[in-house]
Structure 1
Amino acid sequence: MSKRQLVSDAFNNRPVERVPVGFWFHFVDGDDFSKGLEYPSVIQKNIEGHIRFYNGFKPDFVKLMSDGFFNYPNPLLADVKDAAVLKSIKPVGGSHPWIRKQVELVKTLTETFGGEVLTFYNIFAPATYFKFLQTSNGNELLGKLIREDSEAVRHALDVIGEDLASLADLLIKEGGADGIYLSVQNIQDPYVNKEKYLDVVAPGELKVLDAANRVSDNNILHICGYEGSRNDLSFYSGYDAKAVNWAVNIEDVSLSEGKRFFNGKAVIGGFANSPGSLIHTGSKNEIESFTKALIADAGTTGIIIGADCTVPNDIRIERLEWVRSAAQIPHEI
């Protein structure tokens, strides 16, 4: 069975010959996360990192990293002081280099290995791109701005979402990606409860996901627990994605529990991802035993073994192979 078929079967809750495995990490660091437009060498480093990882691990599928493109290119959104400026925000448009260069990146990678594995491009939620542009605490700032003028914030996030919807459409139709990996996160401010989130933040996110769903049936929702951020998973119960990945070890919601919560959708994860965690430093026996325990609890249908989020980029590839070897399904003779 091809790896494309293997992962497709897992996504669609069909029987599999083995449980697929998916891990990913970044290929640049520091300021390079936002320097792709200024320095082509950053994009090239990202491309070379993907190819090196692919050749070294032969993954079951590939999450294509958006390293180099973390800064949404609208200077009006940088260091926002009050909500008034948000009312004048307009989309940059699908022809902007920030979008076109990402499509080119994806096309280069899918032409290299996309015929062998499914590929999913990372797109952050509009609120996350907004937070990346702030020097102050982006979560606290969003809480403040929503208190000040929720309609202005909704407008700004919707505009970012419009550009991200264009990006999603082009990545799949022109870039050859099989879908997107949409990274969302609760606003880490107590004022932005579920009601306010669904009113102000969710519309922009759903615009991106809807655009991706119009051109692909295979899109992943990632509920990001980066650096311990907590998420109420119920915020996303109505999001229409083929598979869901969340921070199992932060939310204390197992793969089996999450699969039930998300109405039987395929689920991805199981391992903690932080430096020093089991996947990063554990022994071969510990990693294999943990993998088998995940499968014993969650079953083999609609399950992909992975991590809460991005794993450390100094991880030894053999550790990921230990997981894949342990994810084999015993067959009776």
Structure 2
Amino acid sequence: MTNKRDILLQTLDNQPADTSLAGFWHHYLADERQQVFGFRQKQSVAAVVAAQQRFYDDIHPDFTKIMSDNFFLLPSLLDVTFNSPADLRQIKPVAANHPWYQDQVAAIKAIVDHYQGDIGSFYNIFSPWYQLRLRFEILDQDPVKIYDFFAAEPALFGEVLNQLAQDLSELVTRLIREAGIVGIYLCVQQPQDSRITKALWQQYVVPSEKLLLNAAQAANDGNMLHICGFAGARNNLADYQDYPAKAINFASYVEGVSLAQGKKLFGNRAILGGFDNTEAGLYYRGTEAQIKAETKRLLQVNGRQGILLGADCSIPFDTPDARANWVSAAANSKQ
């Protein structure tokens, strides 16, 4: 009998499958600083591992995106002060034996092993650009600093992003080969500041993201690109058409682009999505009947082949996990 992991691989390959799969996820740590520094506390790491194992035990999801809570940011971005763009030179390569690598691989392997081969999983990775943006937003409480630094010293900024990509490539290669994930779920987002032109983004940001994706794809051809529209951020989806990824997840509600349109835009690659991820969305607010009806509508208008049902992005913390089973049941109902 074909298990859900095999069906996931068939869907990623854009092959017909007997079952339509659905996956939804939320974070486990509400404190953003804990998401960054938690890797230094074995108790916090163990608690998140246990929570993600319980998530599997409680609802037996079709597939998962394992959250990087406790390990949000590279350790080279911590314990340093960035007052000017020149301070970016303080960022040094992460040693291959750093606990941030070793403990993260061990934690994710414990989660994947808990699945006993039944389902496939991706692992959340923030791109180099996203890493720096979160660093400034979470630790400095300054959402503008990344744009100030980039606009002032774009070449230095690009060098730093490439260094971060090398370190992240080490991580994702080990995660795929040692922890057993199908691939990574790489979070990217275009600059949300008019000073950063498309040309600047393409010259200094894109190379680091492609470097990282190429490393992941070399380890296993099963990685997903997440073009993040969290909190209404807009992206030009066409700018990502040449990114090397097996599947694409984009914010269909934010961008106003259907799954079928996205599939065509990305060369018929597998697509994940369909539901709004916000508290205003049907997945959060709707009844079981409404969510099941929307599931059937999504599959009717977008087709099934190469389609994974999910949301634009992470769902709110307090969303009942069992709602994912409503989607799965409706997707595979014969009625």
Pair 85,173 (structure 1): closer, same or farther in 2 beyond 3 Å: same
Secondary structure class of the residue paired with 2:326: helix
Offset at 1:12? Answer: 0.9
- Corresponding position of 2:314: 310
For the 8 Å contact 1:21–1:304, the answer to whether it is kept is yes
- Is it true that 1:10 corresponds to 2:11 in the alignment? yes
For the 8 Å contact 2:61–2:325, the answer to whether it is kept is no
Equivalences for residues 16-35 of structure 1 within 5 A: 16-30=17-31, 31-35=33-37
Offset at 1:71? Answer: 2.9
For the 8 Å contact 2:80–2:90, the answer to whether it is kept is no
Question: In the aligned structure 2, how far is the partner of 1:314 from the partner of 1:94?
Answer: 37
Equivalences for residues 147-162 of structure 1 within 5 A: 147-162=151-166
Gap regions ≥5 residues in structure 2 = none
Pair 329,86 (structure 1): closer, same or farther in 2 beyond 3 Å: same
Corresponding residue to 2:298 among 294, 300, 305: 294
Question: In the aligned structure 1, how far is the partner of 2:25 from the partner of 2:67?
Answer: 8
Equivalences for residues 1-333 of structure 1 within 5 A: 1-30=2-31, 31-75=33-77, 78-134=80-136, 135-138=140-143, 140-328=144-332, 330=334
CA deviations on 1:162-200 (whole Å, 9 max, x unpaired) are: 110000011011222221111111111112222111111
Structure 1 stretch displaced more, 128-137 or 164-173: 128-137
Offset at 1:27? Answer: 1.5
Identity %: 35
Q: What RMSD, in angstroms, separates the aligned Cα atoms of the two structures?
A: 1.7
Secondary structure class of the residue paired with 1:133: helix
Question: In the aligned structure 1, how far is the partner of 2:205 from the partner of 2:188?
Answer: 10
Offset at 1:278? Answer: 0.9
Offset at 1:141? Answer: 2.3
Offset at 1:235? Answer: 2.2
Question: Given residue 127 of structure 1, which amino acid in structure 2 is its aligned partner?
Answer: W
For the 8 Å contact 2:81–2:87, the answer to whether it is kept is no
Gap regions ≥5 residues in structure 1 = none
Offset at 1:78? Answer: 4.9
Question: In the aligned structure 2, how far is the partner of 1:295 from the partner of 1:329?
Answer: 12
Question: In the aligned structure 1, how far is the partner of 2:69 from the partner of 2:221?
Answer: 25
CA deviations on 1:202-224 (whole Å, 9 max, x unpaired) are: 11111111111111010011011
Runs of 4+ in 1 over 3 A off after TM superposition: 75-79
For the 8 Å contact 1:94–1:167, the answer to whether it is kept is no
Question: In the aligned structure 1, how far is the partner of 2:226 from the partner of 2:169?
Answer: 17
